[in-house]
């Protein structure tokens, strides 16, 4: 496990915190390792009563462009609740290792995370958007 001192500072809205704690609690029996990881991220987050703008971090529903620092591959995804996840549409669940790693990160921040298979990876957030500028779905 990565020590908290090495982890980047994250900010989560009070609204997201309440819903995400419910998601983590509900998943304790089905995906305990991911539920525990998500709860650890929530426990260390700074909670904001204000609705954060993109520069303040990834929130639920955010579109996030990030780089896999191992491969250099860049992806654009939307962070969503488990029921809304759809890999074909690049909507990833917060109840996945990478989704839990992304929550609360700001542009330019990096975090180490562990895949379901146990592989250690690092990602860097390149851009955070809360909606497409023209109202259309962002291309991946």
For the chain, give every domain's residue range. Answer: 7-129
Average pLDDT in the chain:
86
At 20, give phi and psi (nearest 5°).
-70, -35
Could you tell me how many residues make up the chain?
140
Q: Which pLDDT tens digit goes with each residue over 46-96? A: 888 876 565 568 999 999 999 999 999 999 999 999 999 999 999 999 999
Extended beta strands in the chain, E state: 11-13, 46-48, 63-68, 74-80, 91-93, 110-114, 120-129
The predicted pLDDT at position 38 comes to: 94
Q: What confidence category does residue 112 fall into, taking pLDDT thresholds of 50, 70 and 90?
A: very high
**pLDDT higher for 116 or 92?**
92
Q: What confidence category does residue 139 fall into, taking pLDDT thresholds of 50, 70 and 90?
A: very low
Q: What confidence category does residue 15 fall into, taking pLDDT thresholds of 50, 70 and 90?
A: confident
pTM: 0.83
CATH of 7-129, one of 1.10.10.10, 3.10.50.30, 3.40.50.970, 3.40.630.10: 3.10.50.30
Residues 85, 13: Cα–Cα separation, whole Å: 21
Residues 125, 127: Cα–Cα separation, whole Å: 6
């Amino acid at each position: 496990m990565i020590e908290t001192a090495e982890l980047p500072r994250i900010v989560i809205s009070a609204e997201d915190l309440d819903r995400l704690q419910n998601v983590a609690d509900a998943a304790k029996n089905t995906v305990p390792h991911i539920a525990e990881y998500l709860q650890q991220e929530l426990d260390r987050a700074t909670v904001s009563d204000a609705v954060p703008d993109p520069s303040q971090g990834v929130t639920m529903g955010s579109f996030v462009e990030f780089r896999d620092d191992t491969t250099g591959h860049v992806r654009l995804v939307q962070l969503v609740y488990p029921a809304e996840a759809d890999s074909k549409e690049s909507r990833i669940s917060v109840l996945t290792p990478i989704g839990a790693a992304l929550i609360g990160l700001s542009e330019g921040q990096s975090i180490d995370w562990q895949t379901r298979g146990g592989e250690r990876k690092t990602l860097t957030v390149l851009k955070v958007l809360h909606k497409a500028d023209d109202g259309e779905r962002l291309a991946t």
